[in-house]
Amino acid sequence: MEQIKTGQKVEKKTKIFKKVLLVLLIILCVLLVVFVRRASILATIDKKVSDCENNSNNFYIKSVYQSKNKNFTTEIYVKDEINKLVMENTNQDGKKIKITEITYPEERKVFTEVENSKTMNDYKGKTAVRGAHMENQVEASHTTLMNPAYSTAINERIINAIGTRIKSVKIDGKDCYELSSLTNTNFLYDVNTTKMLIYVEKNTGLTLKMVQEIKENGETKQIVRNYEYKFNQVTDEEVKEPDNSEYKMQENS
């Protein structure tokens, strides 16, 4: 009799163990599917943005946002081997700071305007090559297109896939992915940022919007950056330097 009871207990425990094991396997399979989906989406975004970066020699990017009563505008012009970056911020009093940086293969010039003061710096020497995932790379490189899925090593890809939540949304009528993460190496959090959402167009991989939640002095504020792109429309006039005669040359430190 006791042997029968013992056998029933063992059988009952075995059934429970099998059920627990089945549940764990189901959970593991679900997590694996989620991971594979995230990794696949991030890899697709990375490829689209990198191909666009490497194969486009004429494009324009503009981002606009407001923070601490200041309006910030960043514009990037790329035409052949010339990269022009224009950063401008204006406060409520109308005071403006404008920095224009023009990069050539062998030279970089920076023009700074602060109220009535105009200065410039001229840096001679080979500059970084524009490109992403460049094969046999021996030179320093940089990218201009925002790429929240960029990764260069397997461990980085795994971390980004595990830590990035992805869902499908519509932004201005366009099909997009909403990316959010605390561990993605491409999400540049500052000290006060509590949350960041990046909206990527599915068709192109380009970032259309970024939303940051920042907590300062006990208050939570939201900063929204909108991105605009134009391809094959940048002219020689748009990548021209400002009139050098209006700027005072500074010694490089």
Q: What is the pLDDT of residue 228?
A: 95
Q: In angstroms, how far is the first alpha carbon of the chain from the final one?
A: 93
* SS3 at position 209: strand
Nearest residue to 197 via CA among 186, 182, 211, 184: 211
pLDDT of residue 139: 66
Q: What is the mean pLDDT of residues 156-185?
A: 89
Q: Where are the domains of the chain?
A: 47-245
pLDDT tens readout for residues 9-62: 666 777 777 788 888 888 888 888 888 899 999 999 999 999 999 999 999 999
> What's the whole-number mean pLDDT along residues 135-160?
81
C-alpha dihedral over 154, 155, 161, 163, to 10 degrees? -170
- pTM for the whole structure: 0.84
pLDDT of residue 70: 76
Q: Which two tokens stand for residue 100?
A: 């224009």
Question: In whole numbers, what is the pLDDT of the chain averaged over residues?
Answer: 87
Among 27-41, 129-143, 218-232, name the one with the lowest average pLDDT: 129-143
Q: Position of tokens 């748009």?
A: 238
Provide the CATH topology of domain 47-245: outer membrane lipoprotein receptor (LolB), chain A (2.50.20)
